[in-house]
Structure 1
Amino acid sequence: MEWTRRLKRVNPLLVDGVVAVLIGVVEVLPLAAADPPPAALVLALLIPLPLIVRRRAPLVVLVAVLAGEVLYAALGYPYPGLGMAVALAMYSVGAHAERSRSLPALVGTWAVMTSLTAFTEWALIDLLVAGVVTLAAWMLGDSHRARRVTIAALEERTAQLEHAQSQLAAQAVAAERTRIARELHDVVAHSISAIAVQSGVGAHLIDTNPEQTRAALVSISDISRQALDELRRMLGVLREEGLDQLRPAPGLNDLPWLFEQAERAGLRLRLAIDLDGCEVPDALALTVYRIVQEALTNVAKHAGPTDVQLSIGCHDGELLIEVRNARTGRPASVGGAGVGLLGMQERVNLFDGSLEHGDDGGDFRITARLPLPAVMT
């Protein structure tokens, strides 16, 4: 309701001050009919005043109110009535103090109120009624505290879940960025390396062999077009286009095109591919394609036109890829700083495989082993 929302925006000290004054007035009015001493009226008005700070120091306020009640009774003044000051103080204790402290305070309050019958003429039934009201006030306050604690725990849990969810989302975004970066590297590095080799060939032969220069330019055109197609496909994924509009990811059936591009870049391939009886899932097929692509790109970058032996086959539940080329001693045509080998290692790790690379009898060899998820048939 609107008035409750406005009330919550008011200073609590002001609200509690008004409540304390009202309680004092309500308890004094019945006393005035009994014509008590003026001091009794003044004391009855003063007893609720500590309630102004009941939220900040509930136990201290309860002790102060009880002390005022005991003083009032000890002076022999008539019974003050409903004991609303004690009830509100006890509610505050239940609402703002831990149960381990509020329960002893409740028992102590009952003991004090019961003891008043020993030196006053107040009726026991009146004190018992006040005690029941005090108990109800404590129960209401304790219920409010428990509800507040539960809400706080739920809010904290919700915040933790939201934080965990945001972390998972951030990790997913980072993983997707890494995957896209790896795909971009595979596509761009291969294409740029091939273009660099072919453009170098064309520049070298432009005066002496126009036909071969023309072939190199045609190869550059084809490679550039394929690279653009790959980039458009990945950009389509980033734009969240429908999957039915995207070209399937490359796999084993696309290896011949890859070999053709490598040969156009000047590599002389000797192939030994035997995948009969191998069950290769699409994800693994993409990894095979990218490893072969990166391996051939490395050869073109670091060795230039040279002989390359490439074998792919299944042995003992593993898919084995081996690429071997002769070292030529020429400098790399395009810098890479080992990014290609790192990308291959990451792809192999996704399938719990292994990657070896290094010198082997004067050649440079890359060997990747990928466990097959299904038994060969």
Structure 2
Amino acid sequence: MASHTDSVVAVTRPGPRRNTNAHCWCKLPQDLLRLIFERLGFADFQRAKTICSSWLLASKISQPNNEIPWMILIPKDNNYGLLLNPEEKDKVYKTQYLGNDFGNSFCVATYRSWLLMLDPQCTEMNIVISHLYILDLLTRERINLPTFESDLGLISPVLWIDEKTKDYLVIRMHDDKNAVSFKKGDNSWKQIPELLSSGVYDCFDLLYKDHKLYCLNHYKLKIFDFSGQVPLQVFKISVRGCVHIATGLQMRLPDIPHDLQVVKRKTNMVVTLRGDILIVESLRPFMSKIWEFEIYKMDSSKKTKSKWDKIVSLGDESIFLDLGVTVLAKDGLEGIIKNSIYFNGNGFEDKYDQNEILIYNLDTKKAEQPQQFVYSSIPLSNARWFFPSFKRE
């Protein structure tokens, strides 16, 4: 991966030759180096491990103290991606060659540095044949999946990969009533077990975390355990009162921009760092440019029917709706705005268009666009948040 960053240079004061080794950065104890590495962000971690063999060894036994998402931008009709690190506001990283079809594909899900890419193509009969593949941004490893026909696009697809064994799991809605999966060793899409199939009936949001599949429809939230050979339902709860159903038709008004007339609404599940479940209602009303959010937190200690509490603050955490997780925004950490929601504005209306990456600050009640200089200068087909993986070479 190429980058526009300055080289890291270690400078020490000159001294007597007999004391040179005592001031050499390569001679620092491994325990001290490990403490240093565990305080570095992704970019500094990757740079620091190239200093020398001693620092590389320390990186292999270290784990970053705080990981934050990066953004992948996919320029139209190009075979590379652009990466933005929130900690480095004025830098853009350009990836290596990612395939001739990359610039025409859409990123529909991520897991660590792996992207689930969709390349929809129309035949002469106007039938949409979708090509799916999994791509690692950093190693450029690619796994092609079977094609499928669908006019509905993809409804909240799921991607999971074990980076050691390269076992993987992809779940997608086959239609509005059924879901299918594909995992390592399969040669075609498989209908998921009947119990799970009924659990995802009419689901509009799926989330996979820690071998659990969270399924949300307008009435219930169900959780399935995937740690065994057969998925098992382990939990379900009503979501009445915190999931709103859109009703009524809307007339098109002349001489008013179409975008203002579109009511943008979406409901997402989020699992916090502590394992709490949140439901986030996002809304941009008719004829308005202002976003509104409602956040509900499940309270399992309640004995009443209503187990969802409306909350107005995330504290020191921020929500990334694409990823379905929260991230800790520590004091002094640049790039992540605490008590904020990171989301895709355009993706609420269109199947694949997700260029309008926005940050909504729950304190100021305002939304802004990060790294605006990139958006104004590069035509994009897609944008997505992802967690870069730390490689142990």
Q: TM-score range by the shorter chain?
A: under 0.3
Which is bigger in relative contact order (C-alpha 8 A, separation at least 6)? 2
Rg comparison, structure with higher value: 1
**TM-score, length basis structure 2:** 0.23
Bigger helix fraction: 1
Bigger strand fraction: 2
